[in-house]
Structure 1
Amino acid sequence: MGMLKEIFSWWSGNTWGTRFTIWRQGQFVGEDEFGNRYYVQKSGVGPNGKPRRWVVYRHLSEPTQVPPDWFSWLHYTVDTPPTQETYHRRPWQKPHRMNMTGTPQAYRPSGSIVGAGQRQKTTSDYKPWRPQ
């Protein structure tokens, strides 16, 4: 089952084609705390005049899994990857979490259609029009 999953499911890791491209053109730069691996083009430049940078996700291909420090490097905001600099989080910064929309861990306020409970009524609550 593992081999079939690698051949047909591009969304849950890297396929054989991706592995070949990484072997041929990629240089490993680092790995984040979630297990995502980051690469840069070995030689030459991409279409924007800079070496290409890319990420291979550990699990699902969900871009919100990329932490802010690696996001900055991927999008050419900073030149040095987080593995080559000392990045210290501020005390007020929360740990990075991926977007939970569409998952069981998604935020559901009380009174939402899929959430439990009911919304409390307010004085300026909506009153629908009813024909008489």
Structure 2
Amino acid sequence: MKSFLLKTFTWWNSQTFGTQVWTWLYGEAVGEDEFGNRYFRTKGGKIDPSLGFERRWVIYPGYAEASTIPPSWHGWMHHTVDTPPTQENYTPREWQKPHRPNLTGTPGAYRPPGSTLAQGQRPRATGDYNAWAPGD
């Protein structure tokens, strides 16, 4: 019952019931990435007359967070490339870092030195500015 209610009333928790039906009727699976995101397009790559190109969508395994889409799939989703990553032989270069989702708002977010949220002691002010005083 909980699963049914979540699919009916929440869009941020995986897929809604409507998306599940739409995918079943009109979609074909294209692939899956290392985060468990599943990618779909219209059956046979059919062009949507209202858009002028094929529809492409992703179903997240849990919480819908767009920053979990890796760069290779991002290019395909936004029609930058026509070939999905599952159909090409690509090996990442040794200088490329693995994809990380956006960590803003989480404990893993970047906090520069001097931030009130950073760990430890804040560095002293260097005196590189003059404070405003009335009458100046």
- Cα distance in 2 for partners of 1:120, 1:113 equals 11
Shift of 1:122: 5.5
- Cα distance in 1 for partners of 2:134, 2:38 equals 61
Q: Determine whether 1:108 maps to 2:124.
A: no
Give the letter aligned to residue 118 of structure 1: Q
Aligned position for 1:18? 19
- Cα distance in 2 for partners of 1:29, 1:5 equals 25
Give CA-to-partner distance per residue, 1:77-110, whole Å, 9 cap, x none.
1111111111111111110011000112111123
Q: Between 121-130 and 86-95, report the one with greater CA deviation.
A: 121-130
- Cα distance in 1 for partners of 2:56, 2:112 equals 38
Shift of 1:24: 0.7
Q: Contact 1:28–1:38 at 8 Å: present in 2 too?
A: yes
- Give the total of aligned pairs: 132
Shift of 1:15: 1.2
Give the letter aligned to residue 12 of structure 2: W
Give CA-to-partner distance per residue, 1:60-87, whole Å, 9 cap, x none.
2221111011011111111111111111
Identity %: 52
Give the letter aligned to residue 92 of structure 1: W
Change (3 A) 1:25 1:14: same
RMSD of equivalent CA atoms: 1.9
Aligned position for 2:89? 86
Shift of 1:123: 3.9
Q: Contact 2:116–2:122 at 8 Å: present in 1 too?
A: no
Shift of 1:124: 4.4
Q: Determine whether 1:76 maps to 2:100.
A: no
Q: Determine whether 1:6 maps to 2:20.
A: no
Aligned position for 2:56? 53
1:99 to 93, 98, 102: 102
Q: Between 18-27 and 103-112, report the one with greater CA deviation.
A: 103-112
**Gaps spanning 5+ residues in structure 1: where?**
none
- Cα distance in 2 for partners of 1:27, 1:81 equals 13
**Gaps spanning 5+ residues in structure 2: where?**
none
